[in-house]
Amino acid sequence: MLTFSSYVILRATAILSALAALIPALYVKGREFDPLRDAVWWTAGYHSAVLVVSSATALGVLLYFLLANRGLWKWWIFALAGVAVALSPAIFYAFATPAVDKPTVPFDLMVATGIPWGAICGSIVFALLKSHLRSKGA
């Protein structure tokens, strides 16, 4: 059963996952720099980063709680999970961007920013979940 503190931890994990994906995704700011502006399947009027960051947030929350439920309480595992969440915008754009627009996407900057930023966010999530587990007395 979820308590109020569990919902707070869930929200904090979602916010940190969104931040981990948002920072690398900021390199494709503006509608004119949207990598999916010429994609046939992306006809939405808003920027594709909305899709990328929201899916990375869901991936991050799922991944962190899967690690916690499996009992993998090593900080470096959570840091690697944070890196995976932070690199998901670059991976998504690498596969989804049409070939015409691939040279305009700064993949190197997204990866160089995503690795340390994801490790930081993953370590913070580890500390939050570990302190929540200790406060529950489990």
Half-sphere exposure of 80 (CA within 13 A, CB side): 7
> What pTM does this model have?
0.86
Averaged over 33-50, what is the pLDDT? 75
Are the beta carbons of 81 and 60 closer than 8 angstroms? yes
Digit-coded pLDDT (tens) for 84-105? 999 999 998 888 887 877 787 8
The structural domains of the chain, with segments of one domain joined by +, span 4-136
Q: Is the predicted pLDDT of residue 120 greater than 90, yes or no? A: yes
Q: How confident is the model at residue 60 (pLDDT cuts 50, 70, 90)?
A: very high
Q: Is the predicted pLDDT of residue 131 greater than 90, yes or no? A: no
- The residue whose two tokens read 């503190």 is 5
Averaged over 61-80, what is the pLDDT? 90
Span of 53-57, 93-97, 124-128 with lowest mean pLDDT:
93-97
